[in-house]
Amino acid sequence: MENRLENENEEELRRARAALRRAQLRKQKARQQWIRTHIRMFVMGGGILIAAVILVLLVHALRQNAGADAAGTQTHSDGALLGNEGTAVSEVTSRSGGDASGATEYAGEEAAGADRTKASVDAAREVSKRADIDEEGAGGLSGSGDGETEGAGGLSGSDEGETDGADAAVMTANGMIKVGEVQFVTGYQAQSTAETIRVPEDENMQSTHAILIDESSGTIVAQKDAKTIISPASMTKILTVLVAAEHLDSMQQLDEKVTITIEMTDYAYRHDCSAVGFDVDERVPVRDLFYGTILPSGGDAAIALATYIAGSEEKFVEMMNEKLQELGLSDTAHFTNCVGLYDEKHYCSTYDMAMILKAAVENDFCREVLSAHTYNTALTTQHPEGILISNWFLRRIEDKDSGGEVLCAKTGFVNQSGSCAASYEISDSGVPYICVTADAHSSWRCIYDHVTMYSRYAK
């Protein structure tokens, strides 16, 4: 009798061990299948992004299936392993000190784990199928994206955007020009309408020449002798930076260095014009010449920039007049220098200057320079801390109630035209305006005249 029980005990142990080996083999096979599935999913996904999406979905599926499958598969596996021999195994357990029970429980856990892994692999396969479908859909979307990119490239003129100099703003689908967050009407003409207001003479508006243009429609909102010829003074430098920006071969040129010569520094002193304060032999980045030309209205920076672009001021002025012709302004505008020195042959109207500022604001880099309130030039041997320069018009008008935000500006002064300025504002209602005034009796009066023009006539 004892021999028979021992034989039965050995047989049950053998069966339990065999079940354990089968469970281990199933688990190993399931792991291999899991690896193969994920490799296939990664390859078919076409890249890290799709693989990441698949893995996220897989983890989600594993978490959903693990809890529900664990209990069910555990019971199913134990039952399948023991079958109708559960009683016999129980008896063997009591007689063999629990060894058979331990082996059986371990085998059951392994079998359950294998079944859970199999369920997870099945879920992974389903995820893979969905991923394949999504991938096909994504391929279609990607094709559309290429089309949109091509379209955008066509609008901007080149995929090399910033490498072809400082590009102008992008044309929108409705024929407008996107300038930052607003849209400008195309072209460089503004029209008077029946609603155009003649700016009256009063204490709040003392400049003798003025114009306010709604750039979203190209209409002249208000004006006062806007097409009378004036000397533009340092407003000239708006065209200086525009022409220079358009003749950069690449934006990387902004980091090139220009050596300041004695001719450049003497020009400012000789003509008694503003200067940044660069020293002879100082190596200055081209970028600093742009900011130095606008913020402190530096004659030294303007001459250095013109010389860098064209080789001489004379050749650069030819380029400036070519730009005036391109803008359709050459009948009433002509420049003889890049700084704004008074000359009988150096002239334009406030209307012309408004068109010049419009073109400059449409140029992303010029708009950036014209909108800077302060700027610190590069650290050099001559100026170890750089030179801090400011656009005082912007700094002084920023706390005035103009009915919007003045974003860009350039001032000027010569005795023949008094204090003058050109500025760009976006009103509180989101409408872009350009304002130009001339012949105010002081720089502060010029600022207040711009506040009056915006607050009184802009929407």
Taking only the tens place, the pLDDT of each residue in 10-44 is: 666 666 666 666 666 666 666 666 666 655 555 55
DSSP annotation string for 412-424? EEETTTEEEEEEE
**What pLDDT shows up at residue 262?**
97
Cα separation, 69 vs 117, whole angstroms: 10
Beta strands in 190-295 (DSSP E): 197-198, 209-214, 219-224, 229-230, 257-259, 283-285
State how far Cα 391 lies from the chain centre: 25
- CATH superfamily to which 179-457 belongs: DD-peptidase/beta-lactamase superfamily (3.40.710.10)
**What pLDDT shows up at residue 130?**
39
Cα separation, 167 vs 152, whole angstroms: 14
**What pLDDT shows up at residue 404?**
97
Cβ atoms 235, 440 nearer than 8 A? no
- In this prediction, the residues of the chain whose per-residue pLDDT falls under 50 are 2, 66-164
Q: What are phi and psi of 414, to 5 degrees?
A: -140, 155
Half-sphere exposure of 101 (CA within 13 A, CB side): 10
User: Residue 456 carries which DSSP code?
Assistant: H
**What pLDDT shows up at residue 56?**
59
Q: Are strands 348-349 and 229-230 parallel, antiparallel or unpaired?
A: antiparallel
- Please report, for residues 175, 182, 214, 452, the alpha-carbon distance to residue 217 in angstroms, rounded to integers and kept in the order given: 12, 12, 6, 21
Alpha-helix runs per DSSP H in 274-386 = 286-294, 299-310, 313-326, 350-362, 364-370
**What pLDDT shows up at residue 175?**
78
Cβ atoms 321, 384 nearer than 8 A? no
pTM of the model: 0.65
Question: Where do the domains of the chain lie?
Answer: 2-156, 179-457
Backbone torsion region of residue 391, taken as left when φ is above 0, otherwise alpha when ψ lies between -120 and 50, otherwise beta = beta
